[in-house]
């Protein structure tokens, strides 16, 4: 808060030991948003154990009940969309338009889809039983237990909610390690899940956030969770996969790609230039749909470059609010 003493102030007496924290700040202004703890292995394991204790009762609920919880979450997201967007802007430096398009819309669509189709997608599926006509075979989709999620900074709301929604609907508890660069907003977003779960008599420990650096994420991967969902860089994805292999924990990896944009000679250049600028400059290109390389046909190359140059020179950087 205001008036907090600097941790670097000179002092003759040794300062009392306090747990390490991450100072959260607005990347556009440097304004201090708050602090979150750097959670150690014991704290992560404790969160997983809380989720494991809460999960069996949730796994026993009906799909109708889980739909009701997601409908409540959707209503809360729609009602709080401006506040959610502002939190994302302060934590990641994006604009309000980007927050609406990249955070609110996809999360609402994920909720809408899961409410409409989740039960069908998880319904047992019949399989042929081969040479054993007296046998029946089916595939069942049962809850796993506790799912660990590791999310990046670039879409703090989207990267939090979109993995949690299907895991929760499938009957699991979730522990999510959020990025050290976007932890402040995540604790506010967590309140949406907690409020919706409490409102229908469910344990809010079904969705928990852990904060810290790489060691905290590593602790989550090796904590005994039943599955890990990771979004981030290929190099960190390798580390997650290697650590998960020690305990044969299944992983889902959503890693950065190398996405070419191809501008043909018959392209609408106005749209192509606009799309190219978005693909290169949005989040400084640090997103899964960033345009990593542009291939422009020779016939439109000079005009394309001239238009991109003029548009790029007109761009202005500054606090998005």
Active site residues: 254, 288
Cα–Cα distance, 222 to 268 (Å, whole number): 50
Give the three-class secondary structure for 11: coil
Q: Assign 133 to helix, strand or coil.
A: coil
In 3-state terms, what secondary structure has residue 224?
Answer: coil
Helix 63-79 / helix 81-92 crossing angle, nearest 10 deg: 70
Residue 209's nearest CA partner among 143, 255, 163 is 163
Q: Sheet containing 173-177: which strands, arranged edge to edge?
A: 207-210, 173-177, 146-150, 227-232, 251-255
Residue 166, H or E segment: helix 158-169
Instruction: Residue 25: name the closest of 188, 160, 185, 212 by CA.
Output: 185
Per the listing, tokens 């338009």 go with 97
* Cβ-Cβ contacts under 8 Å for 256 (sequence gap 6 or more): 232, 233, 234, 288
How far apart (Å, rounded) are the C-alpha atoms in residues 87 and 34?
12
């Amino acid at each position: 808060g205001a008036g907090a003493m600097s941790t670097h102030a000179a002092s003759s007496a040794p300062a009392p030991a306090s747990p390490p924290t991450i100072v959260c700040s607005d990347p556009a202004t440097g304004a201090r948003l708050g602090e979150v703890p750097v959670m150690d292995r014991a704290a992560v394991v404790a969160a997983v154990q809380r989720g494991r204790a809460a999960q069996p009762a949730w796994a026993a609920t009906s799909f109708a009940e889980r739909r009701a919880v997601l409908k409540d979450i959707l209503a809360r997201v729609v009602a709080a969309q401006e506040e959610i967007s502002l939190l994302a802007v302060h934590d990641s430096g994006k604009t309000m338009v980007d927050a609406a398009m990249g955070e609110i819309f996809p999360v609402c669509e994920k909720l809408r889809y899961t409410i409409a189709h989740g039960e069908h997608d998880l319904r047992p599926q019949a399989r042929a039983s081969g040479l054993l006509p007296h046998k029946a075979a089916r595939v069942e989709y049962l809850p796993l237990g506790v799912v660990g999620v590791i999310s990046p900074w670039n879409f703090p709301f989207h990267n939090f909610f979109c993995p949690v929604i299907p895991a929760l609907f499938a009957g699991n508890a979730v522990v999510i390690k959020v990025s050290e660069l976007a932890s402040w907003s995540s604790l506010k977003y967590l309140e949406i899940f907690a409020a919706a779960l409490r409102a229908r008599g469910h344990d809010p420990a079904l969705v928990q956030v852990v904060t810290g650096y790489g060691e905290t994420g590593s602790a989550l991967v090796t904590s005994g969770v039943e599955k890990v969902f990771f979004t981030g860089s290929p190099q960190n994805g390798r580390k997650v996969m290697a650590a998960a292999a020690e305990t044969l924990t299944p992983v889902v990896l959503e890693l950065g790609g190398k996405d070419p944009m191809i501008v043909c000679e018959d392209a609408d250049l106005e749209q192509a230039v606009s799309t190219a600028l978005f693909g290169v400059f949005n989040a400084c290109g640090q997103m899964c749909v960033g345009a990593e390389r542009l291939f422009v046909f020779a016939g439109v190359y000079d005009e394309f470059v001239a238009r991109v140059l003029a548009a790029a020179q007109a761009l202005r950087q500054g606090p998005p609010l």
